[in-house]
């Protein structure tokens, strides 16, 4: 069966099912849409049969969603759909994902996730134009694309374990921004909507400062993190920075670490947004 003959049948697929199989975040049933944020860049809204990435102003149907999410060509996308939704639905084709070198722009940053002992277990690369890719160790000292069943620890986990005060933000770039000013910070892999219950006990006995991205997915993510972490932490302070989308943008506006500490002191003094465990 040729790809051309089966392409019309792809339109019959439930894009929400495809979304879920790709690892997309929770659906917002109240609006029939969903947001998928990968790091701090991939922000996709699903609607009936179509999707749109607000971060890059691109969109399309099911096949385009698979191609963008996996960073692959059309043949590989068809193969992935055949593997996950049956050969009767789409033409079977080898699901050979294109390398990041061929399918993505140049790498402008990389973030290495490690286990408690500092052994690398996950790599995230940021590309230009703004795109992200996840990698797992290949067992021979190199990386292969995809996460598979590999562990997904918190970013900068050893530092988090040894700290008494920890900032939680949405993306690795914000973590590195805060670290540059002397703070201990962390985030979960793949951005908003991907917080795991297993992360919560790590914050037992710690003071947590949770800075939410100032958008709907960021606020929803922060609420989820707050609900989990405040069961274990000594104190949790949750807020966003009113003049900026995230903490990196806030510092880029000319603010300082002294101002950030003043904000924290004001919240602590007023007792706003704090859980006293």
| Residue 93 is assigned to a structural domain of this protein | no
Q: What is the pTM of this model?
A: 0.63
Helix axes 62-70, 3-10, angle to 10 degrees: 100
Check residue 93 and give its pLDDT. Answer: 35
| Residue 94 is assigned to a structural domain of this protein | no
Using alpha carbons only, how large is the chain's radius of gyration in Å?
A: 20
Q: Which residue has the higher pLDDT, 229 or 14?
A: 229
Check residue 146 and give its pLDDT. Answer: 80
- Any idea what the CATH number is for the domain that residue 203 is in? 3.40.1360.10
What CA–CA distance (Å, rounded) separates 31 from 224? 19
3-state secondary structure 43-99: CEEEECCEEEECCCCEEECHHHHHHHHHCCCHHHHHHHHHHHHCCCCCCCCCCCCCC
Is the same domain home to 215 and 253? yes
- Any idea what the CATH number is for the domain that residue 9 is in? 3.90.580
Is the same domain home to 36 and 128? no
Is the same domain home to 247 and 172? yes
Is the same domain home to 206 and 266? yes
Place of tokens 């102003």: 57
| Residue 197 is assigned to a structural domain of this protein | yes
| Residue 98 is assigned to a structural domain of this protein | no
| Residue 90 is assigned to a structural domain of this protein | no
Check residue 1 and give its pLDDT. Answer: 34
Is the same domain home to 75 and 136? no
Question: In the predicted model, is pLDDT for residue 57 greater than 70?
Answer: no
What CA–CA distance (Å, rounded) separates 152 from 78? 28
Q: Which domain holds residue 21?
A: 3-85
Tokens of 130: 């703004």
Q: How many domains does the chain have?
A: 3
Q: Could you tell me which residues are beta bridge partners of residue 136?
A: 144
Is the same domain home to 268 and 228? yes
What CA–CA distance (Å, rounded) separates 19 from 139? 29
| Residue 91 is assigned to a structural domain of this protein | no
**pLDDT tens-digit series, residues 136-194:** 887 777 788 788 777 899 999 999 999 999 999 999 999 999 999 999 999 999 888 89
| Residue 151 is assigned to a structural domain of this protein | no
Over residues 203-227, the mean pLDDT reads 95
**Strands lying side by side in the sheet with 185-186:** 185-186, 165-168, 207-211, 235-239, 274-276
Is the same domain home to 75 and 52? yes
Over residues 233-241, the mean pLDDT reads 93
Given a contact cutoff of 8 angstroms between Cβ atoms, the answer to whether 97 and 135 are in contact is: no
Question: How does the average pLDDT of the chain come out, rounded?
Answer: 79
Check residue 143 and give its pLDDT. Answer: 80
Is the same domain home to 38 and 120? no
Over residues 206-228, the mean pLDDT reads 95
Domain end (from 85, 116, 134): 85
Is the same domain home to 162 and 134? no
Is the same domain home to 161 and 271? yes
Question: In the predicted model, is pLDDT for residue 40 greater than 50?
Answer: no
| Residue 135 is assigned to a structural domain of this protein | yes
Is the same domain home to 167 and 242? yes
Question: In the predicted model, is pLDDT for residue 235 greater than 60?
Answer: yes
Domain end (from 34, 51, 85): 85
Is the same domain home to 141 and 162? no
Provide the phi-psi class of 50: left if phi over 0, else alpha when psi is between -120 and 50, else beta: beta
**pLDDT tens-digit series, residues 79-131:** 788 877 765 444 433 333 333 334 567 778 889 999 999 999 998 888 877 77
Q: What is the DSSP string of 164-219?
A: SEEEE-SSHHHHHHHHHTT--EE--TTSTT---GGGGGGGTT-EEEEE--SSHHHH
């Amino acid at each position: 069966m040729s790809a051309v003959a089966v392409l019309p049948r792809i339109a019959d697929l439930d894009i929400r099912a495809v979304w879920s199989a790709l690892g997309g975040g929770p659906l917002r049933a109240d609006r029939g849409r969903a947001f998928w944020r990968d790091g701090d860049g991939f922000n996709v809204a699903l609607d009936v049969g179509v999707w749109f990435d607000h971060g890059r102003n691109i969109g399309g149907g099911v096949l385009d969603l698979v191609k963008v999410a996996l960073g692959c060509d059309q043949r590989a996308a068809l193969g992935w759909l055949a593997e996950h939704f049956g050969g009767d639905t789409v033409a079977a084709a080898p699901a050979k994902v294109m390398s990041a070198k061929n399918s993505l722009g140049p790498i402008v940053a990389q973030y290495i996730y490690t286990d408690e002992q500092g052994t690398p277990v996950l790599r995230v690369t940021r590309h230009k134009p703004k795109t992200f890719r996840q990698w797992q160790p290949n067992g021979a000292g190199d990386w292969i694309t995809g996460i598979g069943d590999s562990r997904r620890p918190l970013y900068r986990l050893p530092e988090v374990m040894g700290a008494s005060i920890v900032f939680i933000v949405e993306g690795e770039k914000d973590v590195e921004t805060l670290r540059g000013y002397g703070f201990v910070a962390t985030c979960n892999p793949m951005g908003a909507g991907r917080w795991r219950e297993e992360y919560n006990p790590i914050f037992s006995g710690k003071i947590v400062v949770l800075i939410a991205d100032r958008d709907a997915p960021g606020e929803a993510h922060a609420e989820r993190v707050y609900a989990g972490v405040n069961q274990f932490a000594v104190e949790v302070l949750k807020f966003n920075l009113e003049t900026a989308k995230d903490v990196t943008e806030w510092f880029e506006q000319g603010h300082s670490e002294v101002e950030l500490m003043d904000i924290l002191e004001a919240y602590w003094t007023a007792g706003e947004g704090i859980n006293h465990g």
